[in-house]
Amino acid sequence: MNALNEQEVDGGAVKPALPFFLFGKFKEVGFGDKLFRGITGFFAFLILVLALMTFLALWVNSGPCFKAIGWKFLISSEWDPIQQKFGAVPFVYGTLVSSFLALLIATPLGLGISLFLTELAPLNLRTPVAFIVDILAAIPSVVYGLWGMFVLAPIMQAYVDPVMVKVIGGPFFVTTSIGLSFFTAGVILSIMILPTIIVISREVFEAVPNVYRESAKALGATDWETIQLSVLKPSKPGVVGAVMLGLGRALGETMAVTMVIGNMAQVTPNLLAPGHSMASVIANEFTEATGDVYLAALSEIGLLLMVITLVLNIAAHLLVWFTTRNYGRA
């Protein structure tokens, strides 16, 4: 048995709210405690190992490509495995274009929905809408892809694309659509990143103290003016963070994009043309890649994709953390 000493009982009884590490020195730390701490600490350490392994695996894998092509890989837009010519530009372009299109659609929708959920909706409507968002988040991406291929793409080709050509036209919407395009990929991505944007921005909006809202209302502000003044304004960095996390998800999304983007490596301003993305070229060609350089080129695209998403995610996490932390003091 572990004998209790006086101080511990006193410490516990007088200030029960003290966190244990403050009077930890009065406690007897037995062998079992050290062992337990060691074991759990080891598992925590494994997470660092996993991260290191992820990075090293990609780094080592992409070695042959870096040796053969070097930095030119990043600026070349030629992708011809038979001629051993590899360039990442068409894929980076496709990923960025489809993701930004997705943001363009999902940001107003997502923010509208989370404002609706936190500020405007009657209480009995909030749970069903939140439930819908949960389901949207739970649907596997291959199912989105299947629906995108057989339902969304034909609709885009028949109805949406002609309208876009007529209304916007120009270099961005030229009439050569088979339904599989940057634009369709952007639309399906926008649906998939909606839950991410909604959940995070909702968290940010909910962190705004009610006093802010009450003050605006007391000055005679309408609902929308209240939202503008006391919800949107102080939570701006957090909202940016939410959008960036959505972007992070869009960049890494593989299956749905692969199934609707058309899989053609090209750089063109025409959004209705088929394209390719970083994730989808890996998904399509990794198992069929012959030769060291080809495989390494795909790994290097993976490395590039990881670096881009990491930078974005880190910045986004910092922004969200910064915004929600500030309210803690208010």
Partner 1 sequence: MFGINYQTRRSFTNKLMVFLCGLAAVIAFIPLMSLLIYVVSQGFQQFRPAFFVNLPEPVGVPGGGMANAILGTLTLMVIASVVGLPVGIFAGVYLAEFGKKSKFAWTVRFVADVLSGVPSIVTGIVAYTVIVKPMGNFSALAGGCALGFMMIPIVTRTTEELVKLIPHSLREASWALGIPEWKTILSIVIRTAKNGILTGVLLSIARVAGETAPLLFTSFNNQFWPRSINEPTASLTVQVYTYAISPFDDWRQQAWTGALVLLLIVLAVNVFAKMFFKTGRGVLR
Question: Between residue 67 and residue 96, which ones bind partner 1 under the rule CB under 8 A?
Answer: none
Stretch that binds partner 1, among 9-17, 86-94, 168-176, 264-272 (CB under 8 A): 9-17
Question: Does residue 219 bind partner 1 (CB under 8 A)?
Answer: no
Question: Does residue 222 bind partner 1 (CB under 8 A)?
Answer: yes
- State which of positions 179-218 bind partner 1 (CB under 8 A): 191, 194, 199, 203
Question: Does residue 37 bind partner 1 (CB under 8 A)?
Answer: yes
In angstroms, give the least distance from the CB of 174 to partner 1: 26
Hey, which residues does 80 pair with through a beta bridge?
A: 85
In angstroms, give the least distance from the CB of 112 to partner 1: 3
Question: Does residue 240 bind partner 1 (CB under 8 A)?
Answer: no
Stretch that binds partner 1, among 82-90, 163-171, 229-237, 306-314 (CB under 8 A): 306-314
Name the token pair of 85: 């010519």
Q: At 66, phi and psi to the nearest 5?
A: -65, -40
Hey, which residues does 85 pair with through a beta bridge?
A: 80
For residues 220 and 278, the answer to whether their CB atoms sit within 8 Å is no
The rounded distance, in Å, linking the Cα atoms of 199 and 195 is: 6
For residues 261 and 277, the answer to whether their CB atoms sit within 8 Å is yes
Select 150 or 159, whichever has its Cβ closest to partner 1: 150
Q: Which of 309, 319, 323, 324 binds partner 1 (CB under 8 A)?
A: 309
For residues 238 and 306, the answer to whether their CB atoms sit within 8 Å is no
- What is the C-alpha R_g of the chain? 26
Select 97 or 282, whichever has its Cβ closest to partner 1: 282
Question: Does residue 282 bind partner 1 (CB under 8 A)?
Answer: yes
Question: Does residue 302 bind partner 1 (CB under 8 A)?
Answer: yes
**Can you say whether residue 291 is alpha, beta or left, with left for phi > 0 and alpha for psi between -120 and 50 degrees?**
left
For residues 148 and 256, the answer to whether their CB atoms sit within 8 Å is yes
Select 174 or 315, whichever has its Cβ closest to partner 1: 315
Which string of x and - marks every residue 43-62 that binds partner 1 (by CB under 8 A)? xxxxxx-xx-xx--xx-xx-
Name the token pair of 99: 């993701």
- Single out the residue of 96, 100, 83, 54 nearest to residue 299, CA to CA: 54
Select 51 or 171, whichever has its Cβ closest to partner 1: 51
- Burial class of 230 by CB neighbour count within 10 A (0 to 12, 13 to 18, 19+): buried
For residues 81 and 69, the answer to whether their CB atoms sit within 8 Å is no
Stretch that binds partner 1, among 78-86, 110-118, 165-173, 322-330 (CB under 8 A): 110-118
Question: Does residue 16 bind partner 1 (CB under 8 A)?
Answer: yes
Which string of x and - marks every residue 128-167 that binds partner 1 (by CB under 8 A)? -x--xxxxxxxxxxxxxxxx-xxxx---------------
Select 32 or 70, whichever has its Cβ closest to partner 1: 32
Name residue 177's amino acid: S
Name the token pair of 111: 């923010």
Question: Does residue 9 bind partner 1 (CB under 8 A)?
Answer: yes
- Burial class of 145 by CB neighbour count within 10 A (0 to 12, 13 to 18, 19+): buried
Select 134 or 269, whichever has its Cβ closest to partner 1: 134
